[in-house]
Amino acid sequence: MLPIITEEMSSEIFTEAFQDVQSWRKNMVQYMKEENPEINTAILEVAKHDESIDLKAVALGAYLSYRLLEVATENDGLSIEA
């Protein structure tokens, strides 16, 4: 089961990402290459699959989703341990 993403988590991640979208996305590319290269490859392959899709927009959405799930999972683990 996926962890619950709260409105607070979403606001925090969106604020972080949208301060400088291009920089945040580039940092996430590097982070994902190290953290989970298989998912990074999948994101890029999906984005390249259809030429009418904006690669950067697809990647941004995928990286935002990954980051939200990552934070929610970390918080879920903290609440279980408490």
3-42 tens-digit pLDDT: 999 999 999 999 999 999 999 999 999 999 999 999 989 9
- Which residue in this structure is represented by tokens 């604020």? 15
Integer Cα distance of 56 and 59 in angstroms: 5
Structure confidence at residue 52 (pLDDT): 79
| Dihedral angle sign, alpha carbons of residues 12, 64, 53, 2 | negative
Averaged over 44-58, what is the pLDDT?
81
